[in-house]
Amino acid sequence: MYSQFIKELIDLPDVLIEKERKEGERWIFELSLPEQCPLCPVCLQRTTKMTRKKKQWMHGYAQRIGVFWIELPVERRRCCTCGMTFSTSYPGISPRSVATDVFQQWVAQSCIGTSIQAVARMLKLPYTTVERWFYTHAPSFLSNTIQPKAVCVDEFAFRKGHDYGVAVMDAETGEVYSIEAGKNEAAIRSALTCVSSSVQCVVSDLAPAMKKAIQGACPEAVHVVDYFHVIQLFTEALDRCRKYLAKGGKKHGNVRYVCCLLSQCPEKLTEEERQTVREWCKESDYLQVVYQSLQHFRYVSKSQGERQAKRRLEAWIHRYLFCTCSVVRAIAKALAKRTEEIISCILSPYSNGKMEGTNNKIKLIKRRGYGYRNIQRFALRVRLETATTLQ
């Protein structure tokens, strides 16, 4: 039973376990292979043994044992026909390495979800060694088949106010597929290249570069504008009006309370809160117009079909395109340029909400690594952290 446990721990079915020993804090398992005669790698003829020595490799990790080693004989052999000399090797074990491929892959997989430094401290290995193993084996964990039906595109900050990046994420699974440095049209189009063949729906914000890049990279996909960013145009306008009234000496109590009441649907408010909103709107014509335009747009967003949504949206744009309030006119002009995207926003079940949460996760990965100088390694780390399934 004891030998069977060691056999399962080592997980090398072709080897024979001779004995185990402990040297200091290291457990070493002495292994051997059945007698065999390796052929020459050049002429495939019989060879003879010249020298034989034992070599050790790190092979696994156990909770109470720590990192355990295996010891196998390495022979130096000579071909009887061509005189070629070579060292014998084992599958998955390089004679020049200090660890087996199985151990290196396990270490690389252990780094997913934590930092490389934490794994290096746990295993008492050099940081640079663990880092090299991670970036060597980690790409093999990712799937090469990328065929999403709907994706979300959004920008995030490497360094706020200075460096930005663009991320493309699966709208259904939340897996990030690509990251590119920059937030211009070329960067967005480059990020969408890996999903352009299969994507049917692309969700983004109202940035002009997003629209141009999506039309160029995914011309057959439906462009959906995120509903939150559309409503944000109205809430920002309401906030500006509220701040203008506050400068005039008219205080409205808690700022968060004011913004919350103005941006919420009237159906969700109590009668007392509705009365408070009416009093605020009476004090400013601009505030009243912005608030009414927001409620009318919410009525447009409740459309059930494409024809109804198009008819209501055209009526809304016709009503507020020449409004006396400049803020509402600017919103109407912005929506008039994106009529098809707004209709898709009303009818589509997808949004950028999951992408906004993933942006926060991307920033946490960046801070945990104290920044990344290599964008490819940063993208690899983000893909591994957000992947739903790994190979």
Q: CA nearest 344: which of 193, 141, 204?
A: 204
CATH number reported for the structural domain that contains residue 162 in this entry = 3.30.420.10
User: Of 84, 115, 141, at which residue does a domain stop?
Assistant: 141
109 and 66 co-located in one domain: no
Q: For the chain, give the percent of residues with pLDDT over 90.
A: 20
Q: Read off the pLDDT of each residue in 165-191 and give the average, rounded to a whole number.
A: 91
Residue-wise pLDDT tens digits, 77-112: 888 888 888 887 777 777 778 888 889 999 999 998
26 and 69 co-located in one domain: yes
The larger pLDDT score, comparing residue 282 to residue 208, is at: 208
Residue 342, domain member (yes or no): no
62 and 116 co-located in one domain: no
50 and 129 co-located in one domain: no
Query: What is the domain count for the chain?
Result: 4
Q: Read off the pLDDT of each residue in 304-325 and give the average, rounded to a whole number.
A: 89
247 and 327 co-located in one domain: yes
94 and 106 co-located in one domain: no
129 and 167 co-located in one domain: no
260 and 178 co-located in one domain: no
Residue 169, domain member (yes or no): yes
> Does the pLDDT at position 3 exceed 80?
no
77 and 7 co-located in one domain: yes
Candidate from 172-176, 268-272, 282-286, 305-309 with smallest mean pLDDT: 282-286
Residue 284, domain member (yes or no): yes
Q: Look up the domain containing 92 and give its range.
A: 2-99
85 and 174 co-located in one domain: no
202 and 251 co-located in one domain: no
Q: For the chain, give the percent of residues with pLDDT over 70.
A: 89
126 and 160 co-located in one domain: no
> Does the pLDDT at position 258 exceed 70?
no
Q: Read off the pLDDT of each residue in 18-31 and give the average, rounded to a whole number.
A: 82
Residue 38, domain member (yes or no): yes
Residue 165, domain member (yes or no): yes
